[in-house]
A and B are shown apart, each in its own frame.
Chain A
């Protein structure tokens, strides 16, 4: 392997030697060594909990490794503090944005510098920023508060921030999880160009093989805290990488789509509502959801999908228009949802569909705790029925929890998602409205959730799937709608769906 320590463009190398990290009895990282030459694009693959984050946190100085050494540009470095990593030119782009929401992009950039002057001369800073932005491959509006930017723009701004700070070794933590395929290719393409030019070295944490094969030079694969394979991407096949990552090749479940009877169930007519900024509207002219179909709504995040979901769940007031279910007006109250058997799985279920500090069993009982055995409202809580319900769902949906009495907030993301899905799919369900059900989950969890959705569809449930992951939409949907600028911009049945065409409509060009 070539040992370039520093390129002319300024990129620096990083080498981790025999890194071990223990938390009490638990070994999160076990003797892992990786070498990232200057100017290369290195991918770090692994399932959730494989130790990827632990490794990069040790590199960045957030954790102090139990043992092991770190060489930055060939010199030994002691990362006692994140500031040390920064001073050496190491920067990290987190999966969860670290931009300050109410500050503008320009303010975010200037304040993140270590040498921000006590009094900021905004005219001078703006000139300097404009000059800097002219050298950047992407454009981000500088005067908007960050809270108004779309996810893709925030991601670009995070990367720009690292370059603005002069960092020459960037760690990207699943940088594309909130981007559309086109956006992801654009961002990674530019990052790749920066590495080829020798300006930066990149270590990217990812789940996605496509990104590894398309952009990375080398790959390291971790499983359960151990280094289990890697090398030059050119020498490895996707099958080899996935078997190293998962231990064995994943059982690709064959999802059989049965023909189902399609009856109109839920219709939206001229629905208008304010978006979260209060400045724009979302307007849905006419959408009909049929039983036994999965209707996918694709779109770049921030184009009104979140607001549509909130209108459907009753979290957002609609200004005009009507929603009908089986011909009767629907206002998304608990009583109406129960009568019509409509269930929801909003995105970030821990926040939107759970009481985080209540137990798993209690959270699983949200659909049944207030009705007795005869279906009438009950006054007393039936602890035994709640326990029985919890035991059934935990078993059926393979929710990994220490006990039904554990707080649901203590569960991992995938387990919360499975638990809520289980709760929402119990009993007769005529319609299920879901948003980004697989956001941030690992392969096994994604596969299990998608199996459940197809099963429900085959039983005749109508499913409205709002997702920012176009692959997911293409895989599951019977019919696809594209949302752009708060409107339905395009509709196509799956049989004639073309990813490029959908992508164009997502981006607002038709």
Chain B
């Protein structure tokens, strides 16, 4: 199909398409981190988990020929990293942030080591749903090629918000994240709850990694993440530890990230590199606007080493 000339309409359309395409890993990593932080622990290692998830997902998808097997493998690998992080943090005097940085380097290093043979071969991609079938304009169709994982991420955000509000598990995670003493007095084991929350968070980050290598950009390279895992962790703070907000924050961040390429496609190339900084400028600006010198951070889990 020949591209139709749609002029400046291409910019918002490209931003929408970009938002959907770029935001998915952010959604998964930030939801995973949201769950972990709500239980009172920070896992900075998710960048490493993301990269390892990308590698392992790609490798298994290539070996089995099934992209969903790759996603599953990435989730499993992520859960293993989460369990390791949670288990180390249980010991007295261990700092979760320092462990997280170590885990990040470990995850990346292992991914590069095991990933060398998979840089060349082509693994099957994850399928996308063409939500743009109603339109004749190819740009619209391209923008509305929505990957199944994006939809899963949206549903997961709603499910997680529901879980925090109306399930026993959700309330237990919040109790542990807010007051270790109260949790102990209730007969809960805070270390176990945090271990499981970190494992589940790691699994989600692994899925985010699989999306990177199996859909967009869609191949395994060593520079595949470029700090997306770390940005997703910052998004959780921006989203005030609310899963629904995490989803919107990821979308906003993805959309801002698509601004540069979108403008470039309509021929605006001046200050091109500045537009690539848009997501960071936007996030920084919004954080400043929503902060207050008088109030403590709203919604922050009280056991978090960030807010203590």
Which positions in A face B, CB cutoff 8 Å?
81-83, 86, 94, 96, 98-103, 107, 110-112, 114, 116-122, 274, 276, 278, 316-317
Contact = CB atoms under 8 A, between A and B. Distances in A.
Interface in B151-180: 166-169, 171-172, 174-175, 178-179
A316 B179 contact: no
| Range, interface on chain B | 20 to 34
B226 interface: no
B186 A111 contact: yes
B185 A116 contact: no
A121 B171 CA distance: 13
B168 A118 contact: yes
Given A120-B166, A122-B166, A278-B295, A111 B181 contact: no
A121 B172 CA distance: 16
Nearest to B187: A83
Given A83-B187, A111-B186, A316-B294, A102 B299 contact: yes
A101 B292 CA distance: 21
Chain A contact residues: helix, strand, loop or mixed: loop
Interface of B: 166-169, 171-172, 174-175, 178-179, 181-182, 185-187, 292-296, 299, 301-302
Given A98-B179, A101-B179, A111-B186, A120 B292 contact: no
Given A82-B187, A86-B187, A116-B171, A103 B294 contact: no
A103 B185 contact: no
Contacts of A316: 294
Contacts of B167: 118-120
Contacts of A120: 166-168, 171
A102 B166 contact: no
Contacts of A100: 174-175, 178-179, 182
A98 B302 contact: no
A83 to B, nearest CB: 5
A16 B169 CA distance: 37
Given A100-B178, A100-B182, A107 B168 contact: no
Contacts of A117: 168
Contact of A112 (B166, B186, B292, B299): B186
20 contacts: A96-B181, A98-B179, A98-B185, A99-B182, A100-B175, A100-B179, A100-B182, A102-B301, A103-B175, A107-B174, A111-B186, A116-B168, A118-B167, A119-B168, A120-B171, A121-B166, A122-B166, A276-B295, A278-B295, A317-B293
Q: Which among B175, B181, B295, B299 has the highest number of chain A CB atoms within 10 Å?
A: B175
A196 B186 CA distance: 28
A118 B171 CA distance: 10
Contacts of B294: 274, 278, 316-317
